Each structure stands twice: as C-alpha cells, then as structure tokens.
C-alpha cells in the first residue's frame, strides 16, 4: 500500500500555523506576567509607574491627571488634579507623611465629618509637605499669584496602598472656579518639601513659594531652593474657557 507524502504547500501551511500558535502563546504568557511586547520584541510594562517603586528620593510624586496637552475644564473650572504621592512604607513612613484622610470643600463642606479638613490656599493640613502650583494662578486675596500653594484646596485625600515598602496617598481636587485663568496654557508643578525642621514629618510646605532666584517666575528652580524630599513633577496643559 502506498503512503501519500505531504506536499510542499501543505508543509509550509503547517509550519506557518505552528509559528502563529507559538507567537500567540508567547504573547499570552507575557500578558499574564503583566507586560506587552513592542515591535522589537522587547518587554515593556503597561503601567507608567510601579505602585511599590520609589524614586531615588525618599518621596515620589506622580501627576495622574491632567496629562500633557490636555484641554481641561469648563469655563476655567471643573478640571481635575489627581496625584499619587508615595512615602516610605510601614508605620514610620505613614507617620512621616503627616497624612490624615479628608473629604472637604468650600462653604458647608469645609472641615466637616466624616473626614474633616480645612479648605483654603496654603499648606494642606492633611498632607502638609505637599506643594501644588500653577503658572497662571491669579493675584488677589486669598491668592498671591503663581507662587500660591494650592494644596489645601484639594478635596479628597486617602490612603491608597500601605505596605512595608510604600505608603501611597491619593490626593484629588476638582477646581471650582477659574483661579488659573480661562483659555490659557498653564504649567502644573508639584513636589513634597523636605523635613526642614527636623521633626521627622514632612510638614514644612510654605503657603507661598518665593521667587528665590529673582527671575520673575515661580517654577521648579524656586521649589528646589526650598529643599525637597521628592523630585519636581510638571505637566503643561490648557484650561478651557468655554462650556
């Protein structure tokens, strides 16, 4: 009895199918491990920053929102700042952060249960080392121009992750008025000030950042002159003027 041998075409089809299956299995394995592959076959992490990873400074800051180039808000308001601030882990790290939870806002929302916090410009009483600036912040009480620390206007501050290696605080603000202008490009600048008074707590953020180098601008250079526990993070975006 004769045995039919596979044709060259059949062999090529079978080989191609095997390659496809092998590639799919490799991709599935990487996806299960939390990564993807780029066009060069290199593995890349889909997350922008590992939740438990600290920078080479004791504190790290991530601006989750806005993103660079965003066109945010309505009539100069209703844009959101979302921050992830990471301190050392364990009970000592949480103590050093100065963190207390808050749910606050203007008028009747100010400093009320279940998580009271004051609502004003200046140092945040619930995350007291944080400095948040915009390059277009208005002048006129209670604002002092671009050097005004806006951290105490944040509405929600909570503990997102607490391990032996990291204490992650999430801090959120929905902007209720056009305090940084309308139809304008602004730079959001964020950092955590070092423990300047040596009490073991990052609680030394100023109400207003001075123009340390006298160049007429308040920016990362002026923040660094204060002494920082984190790197300076910035995002340039546009604030909508219309509805």
Going residue by residue through the chain (243 aa), what tens digit of pLDDT does each one get? 444 444 444 434 343 444 333 333 333 333 333 333 333 333 333 233 333 344 589 999 999 999 999 999 999 999 999 999 999 999 999 999 999 999 999 888 888 999 989 999 999 999 999 999 999 999 999 999 999 999 999 999 999 999 999 999 999 999 999 999 999 999 999 999 999 999 999 999 999 999 999 999 999 999 999 999 999 999 999 999 987
Domain ranges in the chain?
8-45, 60-239
Q: Hunting for tokens 């103590």 — which residue is that?
A: 95
Residue with tokens 């995350």, as numbered in its chain: 127
Q: Which of 186, 224, 188, 193 is nearest to 207 (CA)?
A: 193
Instruction: Find all residues with CB under 8 Å of 125, minimum gap 6, and list them.
Output: 100, 117, 118, 152
Query: For residue 223, what are the CA distances in angstroms to 32, 94, 209?
Result: 41, 23, 7
Whether 72 and 240 have beta carbons less than 8 Å apart is answered as yes
Kindly give the pairing relationship between strand 35-37 and strand 43-45.
Answer: antiparallel
Candidates 84, 103, 206; CA nearest to 150 is 206
Strands 184-192 and 233-239: antiparallel
């Amino acid at each position: 009895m004769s045995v039919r041998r596979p044709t060259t075409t059949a062999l090529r089809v079978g080989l191609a199918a095997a390659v496809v299956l092998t590639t799919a299995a490799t991709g599935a394995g990487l996806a299960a491990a939390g990564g993807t592959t780029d066009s060069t076959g290199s593995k890349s992490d889909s997350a922008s920053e590992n939740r438990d990873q600290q920078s080479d400074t004791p504190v790290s800051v991530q601006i989750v929102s806005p993103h660079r180039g965003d066109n945010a808000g309505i009539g100069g308001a209703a844009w959101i700042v979302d921050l992830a601030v990471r301190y050392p882990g364990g009970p000592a790290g949480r103590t050093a952060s100065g963190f207390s939870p808050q749910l606050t806002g203007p008028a009747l929302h100010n400093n009320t249960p279940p998580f009271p916090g004051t609502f004003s410009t200046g140092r945040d009483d619930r995350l007291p080392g944080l400095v948040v600036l915009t390059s277009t912040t208005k002048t006129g009480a209670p604002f002092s121009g671009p050097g005004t620390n806006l951290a105490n206007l944040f509405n929600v501050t909570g503990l997102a992750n607490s391990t032996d290696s990291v204490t992650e605080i999430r801090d959120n603000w929905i902007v209720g008025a056009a305090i940084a202008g309308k139809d304008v490009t602004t730079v959001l600048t964020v950092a955590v000030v070092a423990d300047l008074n040596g009490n073991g707590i990052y609680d030394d953020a100023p109400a207003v950042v001075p123009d340390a180098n006298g160049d007429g601008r308040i920016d990362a250079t002026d923040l660094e002159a204060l002494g920082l526990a984190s790197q300076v993070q910035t995002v340039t975006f546009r604030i909508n003027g219309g509805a």
